[in-house]
Amino acid sequence: MKRSILVGFVVALLVAAACGGSDGDNAEASTSSESRDATLVLNWTPNTHHIGVYAAQQLGWYRDAGIDLHIIEPTADGAEKAVGTGAAEFGVSMAEGVLPARAGGIPIVSIGTILPVNDSALMSLAGEGITTPAGLAGKTYGGYSGPLETELIDRLAECGGIDPASVKHTDVGNVDYLAGLEANRFDVVWIFAGWDALRASDIEHKDVDLIRFDDQFDCIPNWYTPLFITSEKLIDRDPAFVRTFMAVTARGYQLAIADPQHAADLMLKAVPEMDEALLRASADYYASRFVANGEPFGTQDQATWSKFERFLVDAGLLEKSVDVDAAYTNDFLPK
């Protein structure tokens, strides 16, 4: 799963019984005799971050709730523009897509996070000594030279007590990260721990080291990635429809939390070309990470948004401040 934020900082895109019952139960929203089309634009190719959506779709829960959901992969313009212009009703984005989009006048709103805690990490081959930010000194970071990744690497280096200039940067393009590390094209790369790191350790059986971002929140902020978005226009015009979508979607993720292997079975039916072993390992990994601190699935925190927005502004990555209270809402999550 290549992190779409690395392509550049531009806008282009607990455990509970599944909502109180078995797979055949009705969705939380009322069932409709007429289906309404809706398009969901993903942020990347299908992966475990999307498992709840595919599970709910395969079980017919969107259909039962009156939604004929079409899931598509992003175009070059990304989910943010598609949703903001009304070309799609819903999308999968991230905070670093939502905030600059809103700063640029694209009226999208985050309506629920998929991961409450950022699962990003820096991955290196074991033995390279990159187990803490201090280990980045003299190493080569492989990325896309995006402003956000550059700023984060610099901040981590500073927190590790080293000169950020001592960390070299190289563009990697659309490369297999593990292969790039083994070929010595770069020493460290930014990945999602629940996908690329699992691929390396559990599937390829390679020894790798991680600097997890969630171990560095005294240095860098947490932020929501990925998350679901819709448009202000759809919220104003048909809030009930947005609420229905999120009710069914949350139910799919509650299934992925309670029975990750069943959810993986369902996703494989929809996307049979996926790496089954990786999907199953990742489904187990994320089952305990789709929620945190006893909060319902999708819950977003104002402080998390505010700290990340301030980080972007202070780093010069946002041209102007953004009203975070208008950028997200929990109002459409199931009560």
Nearest to 226 by CA among 330, 326, 67, 79: 79
- Together in a domain, 239 and 322: yes
Residue 332 covered by a domain:
no
* pLDDT (0 to 100) of residue 24: 37
Q: How many CA atoms lie within 13 A of 166 on its CB side?
A: 14
- Together in a domain, 75 and 192: no
pLDDT digits (tens, 9 = 90+) for 218-267: 999 999 999 999 999 999 999 999 999 999 999 999 999 999 999 999 99
Residue 305 covered by a domain:
yes
Residue 12 covered by a domain:
no
Which of 215, 238, 272 is the last residue before a domain boundary? 215
Would you say 120 and 96 are in contact if contact means Cβ atoms under 8 Å apart? Answer: no
Which of 185, 215, 245 is the last residue before a domain boundary? 215
Q: What is the CATH number of the domain that holds 161?
A: 3.40.190.10
Residues composing the chain = 335
pLDDT digits (tens, 9 = 90+) for 20-34: 333 433 334 434 458
How many domains is the chain partitioned into structurally? Answer: 2
Buried b (16+ CB within 10 A) or exposed e, 243-272: bbbbbbbbbbbbbbbbbbebbbbbbbebbe
**Selected residue with higher pLDDT from 54 and 9:** 54
User: pLDDT-based confidence at 175, cuts 50/70/90?
Assistant: confident
Residue 22 covered by a domain:
no
- Together in a domain, 229 and 83: yes
* pLDDT (0 to 100) of residue 33: 55
- Together in a domain, 90 and 153: no
Residue 172 covered by a domain:
yes
Residue 17 covered by a domain:
no
- Together in a domain, 228 and 112: yes
- Together in a domain, 233 and 322: yes
Pairing of strands 227-231, 108-113: antiparallel
* pLDDT (0 to 100) of residue 44: 92
- Together in a domain, 322 and 262: yes
- Together in a domain, 71 and 126: no
| Element (DSSP H or E) covering residue 68 | strand 67-72
Which of 183, 215, 247 is the last residue before a domain boundary? 215
pLDDT digits (tens, 9 = 90+) for 113-157: 999 999 999 999 999 999 999 999 999 999 988 999 999 999 999
Residue 8 covered by a domain:
no
The two structure tokens encoding residue 183 = 């070929």
- Together in a domain, 167 and 285: no
State yes or no: pLDDT of 14 exceeds 90. Answer: no
Residue 21 covered by a domain:
no
Q: How far lies 322's CA from each of 53, 92, 203, 222, in Å?
A: 29, 20, 41, 17
- Together in a domain, 132 and 202: yes
Residue 83 belongs to domain spanning: 34-116+224-327
Rounded to two decimals, what is the model's pTM?
A: 0.90
- Together in a domain, 176 and 305: no
- Together in a domain, 182 and 48: no
Q: Mean pLDDT for the chain?
A: 91
